[in-house]
Amino acid sequence: MVAAVLAGLSLLTALGATGMPVRASAEDSPPMIQSQKPIKLVAFGDSLTAGYGLQLTSAFPARLEKALREKGYNVDVHNAGVSGDTVADGLARLDWSIPEGTEAAIVELGANDALRGLDPKNTRAGLDEIVKRLRQRNISVMLAGMYAPRNYGADYAGDFDRIYPDLAKAYGLTLYPFFLDGVVTDPKLNQGDGLHPTAAGVDVIVARILPTVEAFLTKLTAASR
């Protein structure tokens, strides 16, 4: 299964995962945010968020918090990742996984749906419901997208890949198109299973996603004024 997945993922570069950083436009580059109390941000996802095979201090939420604080953002990033979760699993635990007082959430789910070849219609519906329920709680949402392995065929990949930009457009959400940009298929940045980033891989993810997160937080603070 892993070999098939890797073979499919290796074709992502031909379909948008070029390894180039995904960056916010220059006009969205925010000034440093200084606030009296930390912004409560939750990273809600699967093993890629949870930090499978890593120390918690090397997991995506901890490294993102460090990077944001070094840029001057007063933010606490809570790790709400659970290894193995599909979108349906995330939806089932949504209410108790997102603490009261959360102001923003980065939703990183769907990788396991794609690896298992689950119906993209169900993945879309589950993510749509997650977004709706978070917004009902006045929690701003950023989507971290995923691409499907190409070994499932062009139709499946097309249906799956469209989920994230479609939802971002429908709800006016900040979107980072591909969470594993710059890391996927690079053996030096992945653990032995070829699927989960090493600590160095997480740092690449954080460096590439950071401008988009900054733009997201800037919109959040501007809306709250």
- pLDDT score for 89: 98
* Cβ neighbours of residue 21 closer than 8 Å, sequence gap 6 or more: 181, 182, 207, 208, 211
Residue 60 and residue 87 in contact, taking contact as beta carbons nearer than 8 Å: no
From 29, 35, 119, 193, active-site residue: 193
- pLDDT score for 197: 98
One-letter amino acid of 143: L
Specify whether 159 is catalytic: no
Residue 65 and residue 104 in contact, taking contact as beta carbons nearer than 8 Å: no
pLDDT digit string (tens) for 23-79? 443 334 444 444 478 999 999 999 999 999 999 999 999 999 999 999 999 999 999
From 46, 47, 161, 203, active-site residue: 47
- pLDDT score for 113: 98
Dihedral angle sign, alpha carbons of residues 113, 116, 120, 122? negative
Q: In this structure, is residue 11 part of a structural domain?
A: no
Q: In this structure, is residue 138 part of a structural domain?
A: yes
Specify whether 47 is catalytic: yes
- pLDDT score for 13: 38
- pLDDT score for 16: 39
Domain count, the chain: 1
- pLDDT score for 27: 38
Low-confidence ranges of the chain (pLDDT < 70): 1-35, 225
Smallest CA-to-CA distance from 199 within 37, 56, 30 is with: 56
pTM of the full predicted structure?
A: 0.85
Q: In this structure, is residue 19 part of a structural domain?
A: no
Q: In this structure, is residue 219 part of a structural domain?
A: yes
Q: In this structure, is residue 143 part of a structural domain?
A: yes
How many other β-carbons are positioned within 10 Å of the β-carbon of residue 96? 8
Q: In this structure, is residue 140 part of a structural domain?
A: yes
Residue 146 sits in a domain of what CATH number?
A: 3.40.50.1110
From 46, 140, 161, 196, active-site residue: 196
Q: Which domain holds residue 71?
A: 32-224
Q: How far apart are CA 202 and CA 66, in angstroms?
A: 12
* Cβ neighbours of residue 167 closer than 8 Å, sequence gap 6 or more: 124, 127, 128, 131, 143, 173
Q: In this structure, is residue 9 part of a structural domain?
A: no
- pLDDT score for 225: 65
Q: In this structure, is residue 12 part of a structural domain?
A: no
Specify whether 78 is catalytic: no
